[in-house]
Chain A
């Protein structure tokens, strides 16, 4: 198999693009794809510093690497979720990457912020799914990190497969409010929020994994232990079976949704958010989602303490 650009021996095969590339040309192709997505959706400019949420996985580290290579001003933020050895390894990989590249990194650890509570304990106390508590923590701490650092842009490593799986889930259950907000750029609804962008929304998981591998990025290969049996993985499996028979289906599904269908879904009119009485971050109720979760944990902890005394 030969490289589409230079005809050298190919090392990366992209069925969805009916193409193959050598190492050097694939890295060029990947970075150019990211740049095109940023420009097409007017995500940010080279004059705007970007805070990149990095987990230690292939997607976020590949994103951070590509943005830096493209000349964007970036800083990483890592959120330690308190998920045992998985979080320990994730933090180690992110810190090693930042040290090797000399890129600035902020580290926030949930156990230090939340009275010793990580995702696992929070889920156990509230009987929520760990992914639900995790999402609430991530939104809050990434928003806070962007605000504290004065960043107008917060980038995450959600890829094409993530977007296609999310779209399939939203369509299967006709989640109209979610379909109305499924876009690669979310405009802030409050001055304390950053613009949230997903520059990898057209880039498949295979592409981000191949990019990370070929760039020598040491990422966490292990999956989050809480992801076992996750619905999103079922959707991804279905979509990958479809992709095998009809290459390009995932990209067309997401692309055509954004181009033709997404604008037809409009979010229900809501007042602009106020501010949380407890933490001061934007909130549509008296407390933001994060503070409601923390209050629930505190209530249940108190009940448990009384019961054990």
Chain B
């Protein structure tokens, strides 16, 4: 499956069926700080993603006060 990380615009390929929660952990990301999107659907942790899927992992954190 193709994973697109936003806003970095980074792309990577992963193979193998897995839960969304496991995907987020394997990318070393913290649950609740990203949205996992397939097409026009937001995915919950228990959903499965698999080969052939195009997945966007979009960060939700913003802010810039130094």
Are A and B a genuine interacting pair, yes or no?
A: yes
* Contacting pair A209 B45 (CB below 8 A): no
Is B7 in contact with A135, judged by CB distance below 8 angstroms? no
Using a Cβ–Cβ cut-off of 8 Å, how many residues does chain B contribute to the interface with A?
24
Which of chain A's residues 221-247 have a Cβ closer than 8 Å to chain B?
221-224, 226-227, 229-233, 236-237, 240-241, 243-244
Known: A20-B44, A226-B64, A227-B63. 14 other contacts (CB 8 A): A10-B44, A13-B44, A131-B65, A134-B64, A161-B61, A165-B63, A205-B33, A208-B60, A213-B37, A227-B62, A232-B63, A233-B61, A236-B61, A240-B61
Q: Name 12 A/B residue pairs within 8 A (Cβ), A-sorted.
A: A10-B44, A13-B44, A13-B45, A20-B44, A59-B62, A131-B65, A205-B62, A221-B58, A224-B64, A227-B62, A229-B66, A236-B63
Cβ–Cβ contact B63 & A206, under 8 A: no
User: B60's contact among A58, A233, A243, by CB below 8 Å, is which?
Assistant: A58
Q: Which residues does chain B contribute within 8 Å of A16, judged by CB atoms?
A: 32
Question: What secondary structure prevails in chain B residues at the interface with A?
Answer: loop
Number of A-B contacts (CB under 8 A): 92
A206 with B60: CB separation less than 8 A = yes
Residue A33, interface by CB 8 Å: no
Residue numbers in B under 8 Å from A15 (CB-CB): 31-32
The range of chain A's interface size is 35 or more
Are A241 and B30 in contact (CB-based, < 8 A)? yes
The docked-state distance in angstroms from the alpha carbon of A236 to that of B44 is 22
A77 within 8 Å of B by Cβ? no
**For window 15-57 of chain B, which residues contact chain A by CB distance below 8 Å?**
30-33, 35, 37, 41-47
Q: How many Å lie between the Cα of A136 and that of B44 in the bound state? A: 40
- Quick one: given A206-B32, A213-B35, A223-B7, are A162 and B44 in contact (CB under 8 Å)? no
Contact B42 A11, beta carbon cutoff 8 Å = yes
